[in-house]
Structure 1
Amino acid sequence: MSPQIIFQIVLLFFVLVTIHEWGHYYFAKRAGILVREFAIGFGPKLFSFKRGETRYTLRLLPVGGFVRMAGEDPEIVHVQQGQTVAVRLQDNVVTHLYLDQLDQRSEVVIGTVDKIDLEKDLQIRLFTGPEEEGTTETLRVHPQAMMVTRGKETQIAPWDRQFGSKTVGQRALSIFAGPFMNFILAFVLFVTVMFLAGMPTNVKIERVEPNSPAMKAGLMPGDIIKTVNNTAVGASTTKLTGMIGQSPDQSMNWIVLRGGKETNISVTPAKNDEGRILVGIGLSADKRNTSFGEAFSGGWDNMKLATQQILLGFKKLLFGQFTLDDLGGPVMMVEVTKQHASAGLAQYTFWAAVLSLYLGIFNLLPIPALDGSRLVFLGFEAVRGRPVDPNRESLVHFIGFAALMLLMIAVTYNDIVRLIRGEG
Structure 2
Amino acid sequence: MLKILHASDLHYSPGNLVEADRCFGHAVEQAIAHDVAVAMLTGDLTDHALDGHSPALLALAKRIKQLADHCPVFLLQGTFSHEPVGLLKMLEMIGARHPIIVSDKIGMIGLSEGKWLEYDPTYTDVKYDLVITSVPTVNKAELALVVGADNASVEMGNHLAALLGLFGPANAALRRRGVPTVLASHGTVDGSLNESGVPMAGLDHEFSLGALFSAQTSATMLGHIHMHQQWTREHDGRTQRIAYPGSIGRYHYGELGEKFCLIWNVSAETADFTPVQTPSKRMIEIAFDGVPNLDELATVAEQCRDAFVRVRYSVDEEFVKTVDRQAIKQILGTAAEVKIEGEVLTIQRQRCAGISTLTSVEERFMRWCDFTNTPKDGLAERLSMLQTMAPEDIASAFALTNKRPGLSAPEPSGQPAQAIQPEPEFEDIGF
Q: What range is the shorter-chain TM-score in?
A: under 0.3
Calculate the TM-score normalised by the size of structure 2: 0.19
Q: Return the structure number with greater helix share.
A: 1
Between 1 and 2, higher relative CO (CA 8 Å, sep ≥ 6) is seen in 1
Select the structure that is richer in strand.
1
Structure index of larger Rg: 2
